Amino acid sequence: MDEYKIEYTDLAKAFSEKIGGLSVLEERVRGEIAEIFDKGLETLSDLMMHSVEIGDDVFICIPKSDTILRVDTATLEEQDVILDKGPFAGFKIVMPIGDTTDDEE
């Protein structure tokens, strides 16, 4: 589904220059989101969030609606939750957190 607009925060725009520009970031974001749709995502709003890693940079994609996806830079924050079952038992959850505050939008 390519029928959605991508809005970039100022930080995402700035950091995209490091990886070749917005066109490189957009191609990667759309490619990864398309894979999620292929796996059964019905609408963009059904997506809680998705992180895209390019080199050392992490971008977080959060839907604002069914037709708008917001892309921001992200910081990976280690959570206080330690997994106790499965192949990742003993590991802490690491979650991407958007770097732009609502005041900066």
Q: Could you give the angle at the alpha carbon of 53 between the alpha carbons of 51 and 58, nearest 5°?
A: 70
Sequence-distant (≥ 6) Cβ neighbours of residue 84 within 8 angstroms: 90
Taking the C-alpha atoms of 9, 11, 14 and 16 in order, what is their torsion angle to the nearest 10 degrees?
-70
User: Where exactly are the structural domains of the chain?
Assistant: 5-73
CB 35 within 8 A of CB 47: no
pLDDT tens digits for range 34-61:
999 999 999 999 999 999 999 889 999 9
Supply φ then ψ for residue 66, to 5 degrees: -70, -15
pTM: 0.85
Which of 4-8, 60-64, 71-75, 84-88 has the weakest average pLDDT? 84-88
